Amino acid sequence: MGQKRKFFSVWRWIALTMLIVVFAGSVSVKRVAHAKTGTAIPKLKSKKEVSLKEGGSSKVKVSGKYIVKVTYSSSDKRIAVVSKKGKITAKGSGTCKVKAKVSYRKKADGKIYKKSFTVTVKVKHKQKQEEKQQSFTIRINGQDFTAKVYNTQTGREFYEKLPKTITMSELNGNEKYYYADTTFTADEKKIDTIKMGDLMLYGDNCIVLFYDTFRTNYEYTRIGYIQNPEGLAKAVGSGKVKVSFLKN
């Protein structure tokens, strides 16, 4: 009977040892598997698209275990610039791309790989406190549109010349233009998206009233805009049109 108990004790010890070995093995496998999933390939930790106002900033964040170097660049520095550390600063309204080029290793002493990330930056015009606008009326074929003028040097110069009636010519199926006999102070910037009802200055003496919304690569100086441009395209028609600008 004593030998039988001893026999069972030996088998109990063997079984316990085997369980310990199996458990230790499973822990080891899990640790190896975890090590494989902990990749050193860089990731973009910030948003792929950011919206800023002029003067605003954001940060491009890239993470990775063995990053060697990151270089940043902007597709249009007039819209946004980016520092050596990835800080984006908005300069002017429009849309551009900021690219982060990453050099990295998959292990501490491994070969160098390259990867890049692109962030879309959308910048909106920031209306300053001193840019509160005065209202005026744009009258076209008996229809009145309420507009606002930007309180900038160009906007003030335009407003001071009102009231004024001019004949505007057609161009591109989206704008009416008129070359004034006097010049205005120009502060041209890339607009990116023209909106229906925008009143712009092209060069220093061409007044442009847009009656459609579209994207452009041209540069303009903002004068003002129609608050509710519904019906503007119908009012201006397809050819030359007489337009009156009236102070309210």
The reply to whether 143 falls in a domain is yes
Average pLDDT, the chain: 86
pTM: 0.51
pLDDT band at residue 133, thresholds of 50, 70 and 90? Answer: confident
Phi/psi of residue 48, nearest 5 degrees: -80, -15
Do both 63 and 87 map to the same domain? yes
CA distance 51 to 58: 9
Give the CATH number of the domain where residue 139 resides: 2.40.100.20
Q: What CA–CA distances, in Å, run from 159 to 12, 16, 105, 152?
A: 99, 94, 61, 10
Do both 242 and 138 map to the same domain? yes
The reply to whether 38 falls in a domain is no
CB neighbours (10 Å) of residue 194?
Answer: 19
How many domains does the chain divide into?
Answer: 2
Nearest to 41 by CA among 119, 97, 116: 116
CA torsion sign for 140, 146, 150, 151 is: positive
**Residue 47 token pair:** 């948003």
Contact 82, 98 (CB under 8 A): yes
pLDDT tens readout for residues 71-91: 999 999 989 999 999 999 999
Do both 99 and 138 map to the same domain? no
Do both 106 and 140 map to the same domain? no
Q: What mean pLDDT do residues 92-108 have?
A: 93
Do both 236 and 148 map to the same domain? yes
pLDDT tens readout for residues 137-193: 999 999 999 999 998 899 999 999 999 999 999 999 999 999 999 999 999 998 889
pLDDT tens readout for residues 188-229: 998 889 999 999 999 999 999 999 999 999 999 999 999 999
Contact 170, 190 (CB under 8 A): no
- Assess whether pLDDT exceeds 90 at residue 97: yes
Nearest to 154 by CA among 120, 201, 118: 201
Structural domain containing residue 96: 43-124
- Assess whether pLDDT exceeds 80 at residue 39: no
CA distance 170 to 237: 9
DSSP 220: E
CA distance 220 to 201: 6
Nearest to 49 by CA among 58, 41, 40: 58
Among residues 73, 104, 124, the one where a domain terminates is 124
Do both 173 and 152 map to the same domain? yes
Do both 239 and 198 map to the same domain? yes
The reply to whether 15 falls in a domain is no
pLDDT score at 18: 63
Among residues 100, 124, 148, the one where a domain terminates is 124
Do both 107 and 207 map to the same domain? no
Do both 146 and 217 map to the same domain? yes
pLDDT band at residue 127, thresholds of 50, 70 and 90? Answer: low
Do both 65 and 147 map to the same domain? no
- Assess whether pLDDT exceeds 80 at residue 232: yes
- Assess whether pLDDT exceeds 90 at residue 111: yes
The helix (H) or strand (E) run that includes residue 232 is: helix 232-236
Do both 147 and 206 map to the same domain? yes
The reply to whether 195 falls in a domain is yes
Among residues 124, 157, 192, the one where a domain terminates is 124
